[in-house]
């Protein structure tokens, strides 16, 4: 299972979901690889000191370095990480004119995908070549949508990109589900937005909703997933419930 987490809107909870879903999977004993494809490297920084990262997904995608050369074990048992660095921002310009540019990640994963039961890919807030690589390589797509007034703005473009990728490069790509994030159950607006999202995505919307929580917001600063930082918190319970739903759906 290769799950790409994507939404070209910034700050909707892609990285928070990538970190905590993969940590939850690893905690249940599932061999999991987390791939950071965002030049902002927020996922990487949640586990490592960025100064210690000298080789990253940039070298894998552009210089054809084997993935195994950059994968590191994390502090979480069963969870490995393929880190990012700011240099990843040069990927698109470096791959201009390369005929296999959208297939680089898929090709690099070929040798190692069977070592992991789940591979989770965090993507940047764009629909550019990096996100396209993640969608071409994936078996499933998970779309986090922030519970906010403009929640559904941009999803047309996202779904259009998915359809284009399914038409040629990856016909088997499936929408695993839509995850509502940063939810504030006290507001009427949040309930309204929830209804709107369900109207569009119907049963693809996960029953699990991720509430807005300080614990989730602060855990990356402690270089920990929510399960290490605040195991008894609502955020931990919610991401654990998401993990169970994900396993049930695939």
Question: 184, 190 in Cβ contact below 8 A?
Answer: yes
Do 95 and 57 meet the contact criterion of CB atoms below 8 Å apart? Answer: no
Nearer to Mg ion, 56 or 231 (CB): 56
Q: Please give the Cα distance from 53 to 61 (Å, whole number).
A: 16
Binding piece for ligand ATP, criterion CB under 6 A, among 83-91, 113-121, 154-162, 211-219 = 211-219
Task: Considering only residues 3 through 22, tell me which ones interact with Mg ion, judged by CB under 5 A.
Answer: 14-15
- Which does residue 12 bind out of ligand ATP, Mg ion, none, counting CB within 5 to 8 angstroms by kind? ligand ATP
194 binds, among Mg ion, ligand ATP, none (CB under 5 to 8 A by kind): none
DSSP string, 164-215: HHHHTT-TT-EEEEEEEESB-TT-HHHHHHHHHHHHHHGGGB-S--PBP-HH
Q: Which stretch binds ligand ATP (CB under 6 A): 9-17, 78-86, 151-159, 187-195?
A: 9-17
CA distances (Å), origin 204, targets 138, 149, 157 = 17, 20, 18
**Nearer to ligand ATP (CB atom), residue 40 or residue 112:** 40
4 binds ligand ATP (CB under 6 A): no
Report the DSSP pairing between strands 118-122 and 79-82.
unpaired
Q: Rounded to an integer, what distance in angstroms lies between the CA atom of residue 239 and that of residue 132? A: 26
- Alpha helices in 103-146, H assignment, sequence order: 104-109, 129-137
Given 110, 217, 244, 250, the residue binding ligand ATP (CB under 6 A): 217
Applying CB under 6 A, does 13 fall inside the site for ligand ATP?
Answer: yes
- Out of 4, 16, 84, 147, which residue is the one contacting ligand ATP (CB under 6 A)? 16
CB of 4 to Mg ion, least distance (A): 13
Number of Cβ within a 10 Å radius of residue 129: 19
Nearest to 13 by CA among 162, 244, 212: 212
SS3 category, 238: helix
133 binds ligand ATP (CB under 6 A): no
85 binds, among Mg ion, ligand ATP, none (CB under 5 to 8 A by kind): none
Query: Which residue minimizes CB distance to Mg ion?
Result: 15
Contact with ligand ATP (CB under 6 A) among 85, 125, 136, 194: 125
Q: Contact positions toward ligand ATP, by CB under 6 A?
A: 10-16, 38, 40, 42, 125, 181-182, 210, 212-213, 216-217
């Amino acid at each position: 299972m290769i799950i790409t987490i994507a939404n070209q809107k910034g700050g909707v909870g892609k990285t928070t979901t990538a970190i905590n879903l993969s940590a939850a999977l690893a905690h249940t004993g599932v061999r999991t690889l987390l791939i950071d494809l965002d030049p902002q490297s927020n996922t990487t920084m949640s586990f490592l000191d960025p100064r210690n990262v000298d080789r990253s997904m940039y070298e894998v995608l552009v210089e054809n370095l084997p993935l195994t050369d950059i994968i590191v074990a994390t502090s979480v048992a069963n969870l490995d990480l393929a880190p990012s660095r700011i240099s990843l921002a040069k990927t698109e310009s470096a791959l201009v004119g390369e005929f296999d540019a959208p297939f680089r990640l898929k090709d690099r994963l070929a040798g190692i995908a069977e070592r992991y039961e789940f591979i989770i890919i965090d993507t940047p807030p764009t629909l550019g070549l990096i996100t396209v690589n993640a969608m071409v390589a994936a078996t499933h797509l998970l779309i986090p949508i922030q519970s906010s007034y403009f929640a559904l703005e941009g999803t047309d473009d996202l779904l259009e990109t998915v359809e284009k990728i399914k038409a040629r490069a990856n016909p088997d790509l499936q929408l695993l589900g839509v995850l509502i994030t940063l939810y504030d159950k006290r507001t009427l607006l949040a309930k309204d937005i929830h209804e709107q999202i369900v109207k569009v995505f119907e049963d693809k919307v996960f029953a699990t909703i991720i509430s807005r929580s300080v614990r989730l917001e602060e855990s990356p600063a402690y270089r920990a997933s929510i399960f290490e930082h605040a195991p008894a918190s609502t955020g931990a319970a919610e991401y654990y419930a998401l993990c169970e739903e994900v396993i049930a759906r695939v």
